[in-house]
Amino acid sequence: MIAHLMKILLVEDDKLLNHHLATLLTEAQNQVHSTDNAQVALHYATDYPIDVAIIDLGLPDMDGLQLIRQLRERQIPFPIIVLTARGNWQDKVEGLEAGADDYLVKPFQKDELLARLNALVRRSAGFISPRVKAGDYELDLSRKELTIGGEPVVLTSFEYLILEYLMRNARQVVSKQQLLDQLYGDGEGDPNTIEVMVSRLRKKLDPEGNIQPISTIRRQGYIFNLSCN
């Protein structure tokens, strides 16, 4: 019996592209749940074990951004890659701010899609240390959870990876490239993606803006300001 490499949720309304991608991913020994319907996608995401999702933004029954927001509101943390025919950066920012972890602009090469999916799953699973604590912030790395003052805060897998790396390197400047390497591997990803994800993290870590645990160091990167143990 062949073991599936990844369990993938594919949400694409173009029937021809949906079939093509599902065939491609299945031939690569992945298990694929494919649909063109956002409500069905929510059902799959809630009731089936999913490693990663591919979501097109132009869905007929619900905007893809709204679907991503609903997944994150339901505290579903698996990584999400957005497929879009929209090439400008603002559309990509909106996808990342909604809770996506990566994006591909159509048309794209199949090898690039497979590489991105593997990187997303590999990075989202790569937690090895038990706990990192800084003041009221505590990461349980074995359970992939953040608590603030004992209250759980939901992070996506990539938000978690960024926060973990910043906390492990607390009070040291971390470059965007270092964070990109953590998420995508050497030479992959767009530095603007890091800006969006750090912005999302700041809102979750410090919604009132009183503590400011993450600072931007101009032209150098970011620094986690609190001491960790």
What superfamily does domain 7-124 belong to in CATH? Response regulator (3.40.50.2300)
Tens digits of per-residue pLDDT, 84-132? 876 667 777 888 889 998 888 888 888 889 888 988 887 776 544 467 8
User: Do residues 138 and 147 make contact, with C-beta atoms less than 8 angstroms apart?
Assistant: yes
* Sequence ranges of the domains in the chain: 7-124, 131-224
**Stronger pLDDT, 63 or 127, i.e. the higher one:** 63
Task: State the chain's mean pLDDT as an integer.
Answer: 87
pLDDT at 194: 92
Model confidence at 192, in pLDDT bands (50, 70, 90)? confident
Percent of the chain scored above 90 by pLDDT?
Answer: 45
Per-residue pLDDT reduced to its tens digit, 22-44: 999 999 989 999 999 999 999 99
pLDDT for the residue numbered 77: 85
**Per-residue pLDDT, 124:** 72
Task: Name the pTM for this structure.
Answer: 0.63
pLDDT at residue 2, rounded to an integer:
39
Q: Please state which CATH class domain 131-224 belongs to.
A: mainly alpha
Cα dihedral 215→138→193→58 (10° resolution):
-140
Distant-in-sequence, close-in-space partners of 77: CB < 8 Å, separation ≥ 6: 124, 144, 154, 155, 156, 157, 160
Contact 180, 227 (CB under 8 A): no
The closest of 151, 153, 132 to 142, measured between CA atoms, is 132
The DSSP symbol for 224 reads E
**CA contacts within 13 A on the Cβ side of 81:** 26
Helix (H) or strand (E) holding 34: strand 31-35
